[in-house]
Each structure stands twice: as C-alpha cells, then as structure tokens.
Amino acid sequence: MRNAPGIMGNEYWLVNVAAVIEHDGKFEVRHHTSIHVVGNTIAWIGDSVRASQAPDAEVRVIDAHDAYALPGFINTHVHSALLSNHGRGDDYAGAPIYQHRVAQGIMFSPDELAVLAGFGAVQAALMGSTTIVDNYEHEDASAAYLERVGIRCYVSERVHDADLAVLAYSGRYEYQHAIREQTLSRQHNLEDRYAGNGDDDLMRVMIGPHGPDTCSRELLAECSQLAKERQQLVAIHLSQGAHERNQVSSRDSMDSVELLESCGLLGPWLLAGHCLSLPQSRIARLAQAGTNVIQMVGANLKSGCRLQSDEFAQAGANVCVATDNMMPDMLDCLRLYALVNRLGSPHPDDYDASRALASATINPALAIGRSHDLGRLTKGYKADIVLIEPNPVVSVPASGELQHIVYNYRRDDIRDVIVNGEFVVKDHAPANADLMQLRQEALRIFAVHDHE
C-alpha cells in the first residue's frame, strides 16, 4: 500500500450533485446542489449557481454529473481482518469466535492480520464507509494499514483474558493472566501511537473488551477504569448468544447487562454490539443509561436471531447499524434494517428509507461523539461524502429517489468516496491502495491457514 496523498488539494467545488440533506430529522434529495470544500470541511452547500460565481478561478471545479451525494456511512462495529468469515463462513450460524469452522484471528501472525485488515478496510471504503469502528486481534499491527486507506478509524485491541483457542475448539472458558497482559499491552501500544489525536485526525483510539464472557469481571472493571481515565469510548459485544449468557450466569450469578453495570461500563460512552434476546427490563436499563445499541443486521439474521431495534427505539436508545464480520456493505445493511424491523413492529411504516439512512449516519455520529461534525452534509461539518452514480435501470419512476437509494441501489453504484476532503475512492477504485496486490497477499495467507 502507498501513503495517502492530498489528491485534490485543499479546496474545490463539487457541482451538479443531488445532495441528500437532513432537515428536521428527515432526509430529502436536493438537485442542482454544489458543495464547497475547504481543507477537510464543507465550507458551503447550496444552489449550483453559486459555484459558477466562485471568485477564485484557481479553485478546482469538479462536475459530479448529477451523482447523489450522501453523508459518509459510519460503520460502528466491524472487524476488518476477519475476512475468514466471508464466503464459506456466511453459511455458519453464530459468532465465529465460538467455533473452529472458520480461521480464527489467533491463527494469524500480526503481519498477516495487518494485510487482511488493510484489504477489509479497502472493501469498507469501496462500499461507502467513511468511518469504521474496528476491533480485532493485533490491532496495533493492523493500524498502519488501516491508516493508509484514508478512512476514519476508531481502533481498539480485542482485549480478553479467556483462551479463545480453548473456547473455539472445546467450548470451555479458561482465563489466563498472561493473555490479559498481552492484549492490554497491545491496547497501550495503540494509545501511545495516537495519543493526542483529535477530530481533525483520521485515527482515534477506543478500548475494546471483547465481551462479558471472554473477559473476567476484574478485566471488565479495569477496562472501565482505563476508559474513564483516558476519556475513551468503549466497544463491546453484549448479549451475543447462549454461550455468553450461560457463562456469565454461571460465573457471576447475574446477566450480562447487570455485569456491565456493576463494572461501570454502561453509559453514552459504550457502543454495545448485538444486544439480542434481552427482556424489556434490560432494554429499558440500557436506554436509560444512554448506551448506544449497535444492530448487526446481517450477522444477527444469519444466526437466526430476531432484532429488537423497535423495542430499543421505543425505549429511547440510540440505535445504529453495522456489518460486524459480514461483507462491509452498508447499503445492503440499510435495506435489511428497514425491511426486517417491520416484522412485528406496531408501526411498520416508521421503518422508512430516511430512518434507515439515519441509522448509518446521524445516529452513529452521536454514538462516537461526533454529532457536531459528522453524519450530515451541512456547513461546518467534515467533508465525508459518498457519491452514488445515477443508475438508469433502477431509477424509474423518478419520484422516490431516497427510497431508490436505500432499497434499489447497490454497492457497485458507489462511484467516489471522500473522507476529510480527500478522495479515497475515485471512479470505483481505491486511491491509496493497490487492490489486486492486497487481494493476492490475502489469498496467499488463506492458502496457508484456511482449510476445510
């Protein structure tokens, strides 16, 4: 991979876009719009006539040719290096960490995981993610590859003290102090590398205790304390399945929500992934605490689990969508989110295209503490923009354009992706990586590790 250059300079006009603008909580499409980008920020957005009157003839003008401009997708729970779950793994129900039928992260070297993470991040960029919340094994080694792709990354090490090899192959939980120290050390490496990074930087650090079952109570409490000391966000798997529920109940004589609360982890700083099969009392407790609920629609459906997005929304929780270990296809995720959540909902029409889009833009911006500068196309916000090429096959009738985007457009229709004012995808190709070279390296790695 090559380093991310300043592709377009620090100022340009993006003209002739059909901008997807949020207004009073709803998204709408506005044609003949121009976006003036200065540095990494949207300096102005409005009628395209303004662009033709730009006073500085030296400022570049880019004709978007009526492409749809969306706020960049924020994928709040992804494991970029977990490519082993794509393909054959898509047929397997349940989280890969509890089974040996897919190659586990602990099988790969740090350098191998870095290559896989780089390829996964390129996939995410090509499919419209401008920000990812990424957590996996040896994240300290993968971070450099993630950084070069040019998208925003909130990174954390997969912190745990359960022996994941024993868990995957025998189903037993064995906690080891050495594993705890190793994973925390890698977390500290990340913190040292990106200490002091702020909103203008692409790389930010969270803390990522894997789950209530794979972390001992003592480790969860330590992660909570570290997060508070460093004012970090926390990413965790919560109520992911029967393995977790049974282990926490047996070990701690409480459920997972109670355990996290007892360790001080519940709150608006927590991004809790999955949140499946929870009783109403626990849904209410998570919402009351301000915990952000991340619904991995495809991954949960693959496991045969019903989403509880409607119950969480009714309780007042901030609900976001993410792709987890599946292909990082956010358009597909939006479509599934809108359709699946109508099942059993007393108000199925509430799950419309605008609500689906908010679950990948406005809501996750709030979850990561960036509602002030991410998730919308508006003046003063970061220039994180997805351009979708008009597709004449799916855009008839011309009305209902927002619905066409969510339900009928596909990932291959995403033409350009801009992050922090720079093109990271241009004409369907990554700007900062050699896709085919990364693919060949990934295939070579799997040829060694991935066996039926």
CATH number at residue 407: 2.30.40.10
Q: 322 with 188, same domain?
A: yes
Q: 305 with 263, same domain?
A: yes
Residue 446 belongs to some domain of the structure: no
Q: 178 with 34, same domain?
A: no
In this prediction, residues 257-272 reach a mean pLDDT of 98
**First CA to last CA across the chain, in angstroms?**
30
Last residue of a domain, one of 345, 367, 389: 367
Q: 187 with 47, same domain?
A: no
Residue 168 belongs to some domain of the structure: yes
Q: What is the pLDDT of residue 50?
A: 62
Last residue of a domain, one of 347, 367, 387: 367
Q: Find which of 4-8, 211-215, 392-396 is predicted with most confidence, using mean pLDDT.
A: 211-215
Q: What is the pLDDT of residue 88?
A: 76
Residue type for position 423: F
Give Cα separations from 138 to 110, 156, 234 (angstroms): 6, 9, 17
pLDDT at 55 over 60: no
Q: What is the pLDDT of residue 52?
A: 60
pLDDT at 204 over 60: yes
Residue 158 belongs to some domain of the structure: yes
Q: What is the pLDDT of residue 7?
A: 44
* pLDDT confidence bin for 206, thresholds 50/70/90: very high
Q: 272 with 346, same domain?
A: yes
In tens, the pLDDT along 130-189 reads 999 999 999 999 999 999 999 999 999 999 999 999 999 999 999 999 999 999 999 999
Q: 186 with 211, same domain?
A: yes
CA 317/CA 366 separation, integer angstroms: 11
Q: What is the pLDDT of residue 5?
A: 41
Last residue of a domain, one of 337, 367, 397: 367
* pLDDT confidence bin for 451, thresholds 50/70/90: low
Q: What is the pLDDT of residue 6?
A: 45
Residue with the larger pLDDT of the pair 104 and 230 = 230
In tens, the pLDDT along 74-86 reads 999 999 999 877 8
Residue 386 belongs to some domain of the structure: yes
* pLDDT confidence bin for 9, thresholds 50/70/90: low
Residue 413 belongs to some domain of the structure: yes
The answer for residues whose C-beta is within 8 angstroms of residue 374's C-beta and 6 or more apart is: 71, 72, 74, 131, 365, 368, 381, 382, 384
Q: 352 with 427, same domain?
A: no
β-sheet with 414-419: strand ranges across? 41-47, 26-38, 11-23, 60-71, 385-388, 414-419, 422-426, 429-430
Q: 431 with 298, same domain?
A: no
Q: Write the CATH number for 255.
A: 3.20.20.140
Q: What is the pLDDT of residue 4?
A: 41
pLDDT at 277 over 80: yes
* Structural domains in the chain (count): 2
Q: 64 with 88, same domain?
A: no
Residue 3 belongs to some domain of the structure: no
pLDDT at 3 over 60: no
Tokens of 29: 């499409």
Residue 449 belongs to some domain of the structure: no
Helix (H, G, I), strand (E, B) or coil at 102: coil
Q: 245 with 153, same domain?
A: yes
CA 336/CA 83 separation, integer angstroms: 21
State the residue range of the domain holding 382: 11-71+375-435
pLDDT at 2 over 80: no
Q: What is the pLDDT of residue 303?
A: 81
| Lowest-confidence region among 26-35, 102-111, 365-374, 415-424 | 102-111
pLDDT at 366 over 50: yes
* pLDDT confidence bin for 56, thresholds 50/70/90: low
- Sequential DSSP letters for 392-443: TTT--SSS-HHHIIIII--GGGEEEEEETTEEEEETTEESSS-HHHHHHHHH
How confident is the prediction for the chain on average, in pLDDT? 93
The 3-class SS string of 266-311 reads CCCCEEEEECCCCCHHHHHHHHHHCCEEEEEHHHHHHCCCCCCHHH
Residue 2 belongs to some domain of the structure: no
Q: 212 with 127, same domain?
A: yes
Q: 225 with 340, same domain?
A: yes
In tens, the pLDDT along 298-344 reads 988 888 888 899 999 999 999 999 999 889 999 999 999 999 999 88
| Lowest-confidence region among 36-50, 114-128, 187-201, 319-333 | 36-50
Q: What is the pLDDT of residue 24?
A: 83
